[in-house]
Amino acid sequence: MLEYTDKLFILFFMPKVIVFGNQKGGTGKSTLAMHLVVSLLNKGYSVATIDVDARQGTFTRYIENREKTKLQNPSILTPNHTAMFDTVTDSISEMEKSNLDNFITKINELQNYDYIIIDTPGNDNNLSKIAHSFADVIITPMNESFIDLDLLVKIHDLSSNDLKPSTYADMVWNQKKERAIRDRGMIDWIVLVNRMSNIASKNRQELDRVLTALSKRIGFRLAKGFKERVIFRELFLSGLTLLDRDATTSQMSLSHIAARQELNDLLKALNITDKQ
């Protein structure tokens, strides 16, 4: 159970906190987070970002690359970014208390923003749990694989309906309880399949079937996924996204147009429209 301090201010108006989480690396959390950030900025929202996976720092480097590109193109929009590291101490309890204090302090500093987007590591650590407990929305991208599914559900036989929450699902459930205890808030959990192959397969059909059954049992909703596209990775070095005008020098291909539609589908799932 997290121990809250007097640094926690419960405000009536707070930024919407969206956390990208999965205890497995390589699922595209940082890339999707960055595309959501740019989508929100383009729609007129103020956005702050936090990287609690600062040790690996993919999200942070993506934003740093974007800030470098901004020097040549000032019209590029960037968020207010913070990289957070675990407190270094010999005591686990002191480390956890310090992490919580630091996180609450940062959240309170960002109260004037419309959205806070948080990227988390592909493993189980204290800062990630804290971030999850402050989420209004958790987005969990997963690869089109039963290896990734294993972090959500313990599954031994595809023909069985005996689906039990696994490692990451248990963690999300615990952080939902933390949120409810702290401020009676609720967390909307979204799962989507990322980096899907372009060819339909029996594996995908089985995966969809299990995810649909599991969503009702452990309380998440499914969003439309993203297909595997090289363009998502190519833009990392420039810090750009598909939503930037100068993202590509060539004419938009059908693949790029389809990728933009996938991003629009995610925005619809999040009920995000242009800022009024």
pLDDT value at position 196?
60
274 located within any domain: no
pLDDT value at position 12?
44
pLDDT value at position 64?
95
What CATH number is given to the structural domain containing 55?
Answer: 3.40.50.300
Degrees, nearest 5: CA angle 236-208-257 = 40
Q: How far apart are CA 276 and CA 274, in angstroms?
A: 6
Q: Which long-range contacts (CB under 8 A, 24 or more apart) does 163-172 make?
A: 163/210, 163/213, 163/214, 163/217, 165/217, 165/218, 167/23, 167/124, 168/21, 168/22, 168/23, 168/24, 168/140, 169/218, 171/23, 171/124, 171/129, 171/132, 172/21, 172/132, 172/138, 172/140, 172/220
pTM assigned to the model: 0.88
pLDDT value at position 255?
67
| Residues of the chain with confidence (pLDDT) below 70 | 1-13, 155-163, 195-201, 203, 228-230, 245-255
Number of domains in the chain: 1
Structural domain harbouring 228: 16-269
Strand 153-154 and strand 164-165: the pairing is antiparallel
Per-residue pLDDT of 163-175, as tens digits, reads 677 788 889 999 9
pLDDT value at position 42?
92
244 located within any domain: yes
151 located within any domain: yes
Q: How far apart are CA 248 and CA 226, in angstroms?
A: 19
Per-residue pLDDT of 82-96, as tens digits, reads 999 888 888 888 999
pLDDT value at position 162?
64
Degrees, nearest 5: CA angle 110-114-238 = 85
3 located within any domain: no
pLDDT value at position 11?
45
7 located within any domain: no
207 located within any domain: yes
250 located within any domain: yes
pLDDT value at position 247?
52
Per-residue pLDDT of 104-113, as tens digits, reads 999 999 999 9
199 located within any domain: yes
